[in-house]
Structure 1
Amino acid sequence: MTEFFRIESPSFDPASGEARFPFTLNDLSFTEILTLPQGADAAAAASPNFAKLLGLTALVLGVSYYKLRAPLVIEAPTIPLTAAERAFVIDVYENGLGEFYARNALSRFGKLVLTAPDDTNERQPAMTLPERTLLPIGGGKDSLVSVDLLTHTGQQFTPFAVNPKGPIVTSVDAIGASPVYVTRKLDAEMIRLGQTEGYYNGHVPSTAINSMIASLCAVLFGYNQIALSNERSASEGNVVFDGRETNHQYSKSLGFELLIADTLSNATGGALKYFSLLRPYSEARIASLFTKETKFDSVFSSCNRNFRLNGNDGPLWCGECPKCHFVFLIFAPFMAKDRMLRIFGKNLLDDLANEQSFRELAGLTGQKPWECVGEILEAAACFYTLTRHADWHEAAVVRAVKADLFAQYGEEKLQRAMAECLTDSHDHHIPPALAAKVAAYAV
Structure 2
Amino acid sequence: MTDQFVIKRPTFDPATGRARFAYGLEGLDFVETLDLPLGADAVAAGSPNFKKLLDLTAIVLGVSYFKLKAPFAIAAPDIALNAAERAFATDVYENGLGEFYARNDLQRFDRLTITAPHDDAERQPAIALPDRTLLPIGGGKDSLVSVDLLTHTGVAFTPFAVNPKGPILTSVDKIGTPPVYVTRTLDPEMIRLSQAPGFYNGHVPSTAINSMIAALCALLYGYSQIVLSNERSASEGNVEFDGRQTNHQYSKSLGFELLIADILSGATGGTLKYFSLLRPYSEARIASLFTHETKFDRVFSSCNRNFRLTGNDGPLWCGECPKCHFVFLIFAPFMAKDRLLAIFGKDLLDNPAHESSFRELAGLAGQKPWECVGEILEAAACLYTLTRHADWHEAAVVRAIKTDLLVQYGEPKLQAAMAECLTDSHDHHVPPALAAKVAAYAV
Structure 1-normalised TM-score? 0.99
Gapped regions of structure 1 (runs ≥ 5)? none
Mapping of 1:170-209 within 5 angstroms?
170-209=170-209
Q: Give the Cα–Cα distance (whole angstroms) in 2 for the partners of residues 406 and 292 of structure 1.
A: 31
Give the equivalent residue in structure 2 for 1:363.
363
Give the equivalent residue in structure 2 for 1:298.
298
Give the equivalent residue in structure 1 for 2:115.
115
Give the equivalent residue in structure 1 for 2:41.
41
The residue type paired with residue 276 of structure 1 is S
Give the equivalent residue in structure 1 for 2:31.
31
Superimposed CA distance per residue, residues 381-421 of structure 1 (whole angstroms, 9 cap, x where no aligned partner): 00010000000000000000000000000000000000000
Q: Give the Cα–Cα distance (whole angstroms) in 1 for the partners of residues 325 and 14 of structure 2.
A: 44
**1:96 is paired with a residue of what secondary structure?**
helix
The residue type paired with residue 338 of structure 1 is D
Q: Give the Cα–Cα distance (whole angstroms) in 1 for the partners of residues 135 and 305 of structure 2.
A: 23
Superimposed CA distance per residue, residues 258-279 of structure 1 (whole angstroms, 9 cap, x where no aligned partner): 0000000000000000000000
The residue type paired with residue 308 of structure 1 is R
Q: Give the Cα–Cα distance (whole angstroms) in 1 for the partners of residues 413 and 96 of structure 2.
A: 32
Give the equivalent residue in structure 2 for 1:126.
126
**2:311 is paired with a residue of what secondary structure?**
coil
Does residue 63 (structure 1) correspond to residue 63 (structure 2)? The answer is: yes
Give the equivalent residue in structure 2 for 1:98.
98
Give the equivalent residue in structure 2 for 1:327.
327
Q: Give the Cα–Cα distance (whole angstroms) in 2 for the partners of residues 10 and 307 of structure 1.
A: 29
Aligned-pair CA distance for 1:26: 1.6
Q: Give the Cα–Cα distance (whole angstroms) in 2 for the partners of residues 114 and 313 of structure 1.
A: 39
Give the equivalent residue in structure 2 for 1:212.
212
**1:168 is paired with a residue of what secondary structure?**
helix
Tell me if the contact between 1:41 and 1:221 (Cα under 8 Å) persists in the aligned partners. Answer: yes
Deviates more, 1:144-153 or 1:1-10: 1-10
The residue type paired with residue 132 of structure 2 is R
Tell me if the contact between 1:81 and 1:117 (Cα under 8 Å) persists in the aligned partners. Answer: yes
The residue type paired with residue 146 of structure 1 is S
Give the equivalent residue in structure 2 for 1:86.
86
Identity score, percent: 81
Give the equivalent residue in structure 2 for 1:265.
265
Superimposed CA distance per residue, residues 235-271 of structure 1 (whole angstroms, 9 cap, x where no aligned partner): 0000000000000000000000000000000000000
**1:324 is paired with a residue of what secondary structure?**
helix
Q: Give the Cα–Cα distance (whole angstroms) in 2 for the partners of residues 68 and 118 of structure 1.
A: 27
The residue type paired with residue 32 of structure 1 is E
The residue type paired with residue 337 of structure 2 is K
**2:312 is paired with a residue of what secondary structure?**
coil
Tell me if the contact between 2:165 and 2:312 (Cα under 8 Å) persists in the aligned partners. Answer: no
The residue type paired with residue 437 of structure 1 is K
Aligned residues: 443
Q: Which runs of at least 4 in structure 1 moved beyond 2 Å after TM superposition? A: none
Q: Give the Cα–Cα distance (whole angstroms) in 2 for the partners of residues 169 and 218 of structure 1.
A: 21
Aligned-pair CA distance for 1:305: 2.0
The residue type paired with residue 151 of structure 1 is T
Aligned-pair CA distance for 1:312: 2.4
Q: Give the Cα–Cα distance (whole angstroms) in 2 for the partners of residues 26 and 44 of structure 1.
A: 36
Aligned-pair CA distance for 1:307: 2.5
Structure 2-normalised TM-score? 0.99
Superimposed CA distance per residue, residues 301-358 of structure 1 (whole angstroms, 9 cap, x where no aligned partner): 0000232012223110000000000000000000000000100001000000100000
Give the equivalent residue in structure 2 for 1:153.
153
Q: Give the Cα–Cα distance (whole angstroms) in 2 for the partners of residues 227 and 25 of structure 1.
A: 34
Gapped regions of structure 2 (runs ≥ 5)? none
Q: Give the Cα–Cα distance (whole angstroms) in 2 for the partners of residues 295 and 15 of structure 1.
A: 38
Tell me if the contact between 1:67 and 1:200 (Cα under 8 Å) persists in the aligned partners. Answer: yes
The residue type paired with residue 251 of structure 1 is S
Tell me if the contact between 2:135 and 2:227 (Cα under 8 Å) persists in the aligned partners. Answer: yes
**2:394 is paired with a residue of what secondary structure?**
coil
Q: Give the Cα–Cα distance (whole angstroms) in 2 for the partners of residues 19 and 164 of structure 1.
A: 18
Aligned-pair CA distance for 1:18: 0.2
Superimposed CA distance per residue, residues 116-151 of structure 1 (whole angstroms, 9 cap, x where no aligned partner): 000010000001111111000000000000000000
The residue type paired with residue 334 of structure 2 is F
